[in-house]
Amino acid sequence: MRYRSLLLLVLALFVSGTATAQATEILGTLGKLGISPTQALGGAQALLGVAQSNLGGDEFSALMGAAPELKQVMDLTDMAGSVGSMMGGASASASAGADASASAEMPALPAGVGSLDALANNAGLVSQFGDLGLDAGMITKFAPVLLHVASKAGPETLGLLTKGLGIG
């Protein structure tokens, strides 16, 4: 059911002309965690919001420019509520955990990225994930997805995101 909701979200975003293949790939990967589209978008926005807060404006702009799919996801998150309504009220009441098969399909941390403990212990981030109906353990499942995208853009981009997330 949640996968169907995610597919409807992706379709709605394509129809509205606001999504690209890269952004929908990120959302699709996060959807494998067994969460709602609103949770996928909100969790990604929360992590990118931490990076935005920790980086200067120029650095965050450089990150978004080098990895436009992250910017696209950041921009899409503002639509989470309205898209959820369009999809018949998809809510943030999904299970906060993921099964082992979903975890096995998630990207690994890129080489050179250290521990995610600082993220998992970030009170503000834990609170934002809690507001989405996600437990703190989900932070360490979301972060590798975004870090993987940044690593594909190059080591400088990955360095900016790790710095922004406070893990590098």
How is the chain split into domains, by residue range? 2-165
pLDDT at residue 76, as a whole number: 80
Residue 12: predicted pLDDT: 55
Q: Which residues contact 81 (CB under 8 A, 6 or more apart)?
A: 38
Residue 83: the pLDDT is: 44
The per-residue b/e assignment along 71-107, b for 16 or more CB within 10 angstroms, e otherwise, is bbbbebbebbeebbeebeebebebebebeeebeeebe
pLDDT given at position 96: 42
Block means of pLDDT (10 residues each) for the chain, length 168 residues?
56 52 82 91 94 94 94 72 39 41 68 87 95 95 95 94 92
Q: Rounded distance, CA 150 to CA 161, Å? A: 7
Query: Whose CA is closest to 143, among 43, 49, 74?
Result: 43
Closest by Cα among 149, 141, 147 to 164: 147
Per-residue model confidence (pLDDT) at position 82: 42
pLDDT of res. 101 = 41
Q: What is the pLDDT of residue 13?
A: 53
User: Cβ(34)–Cβ(2) under 8 Å?
Assistant: yes
Supply the pTM of this predicted model.
0.77
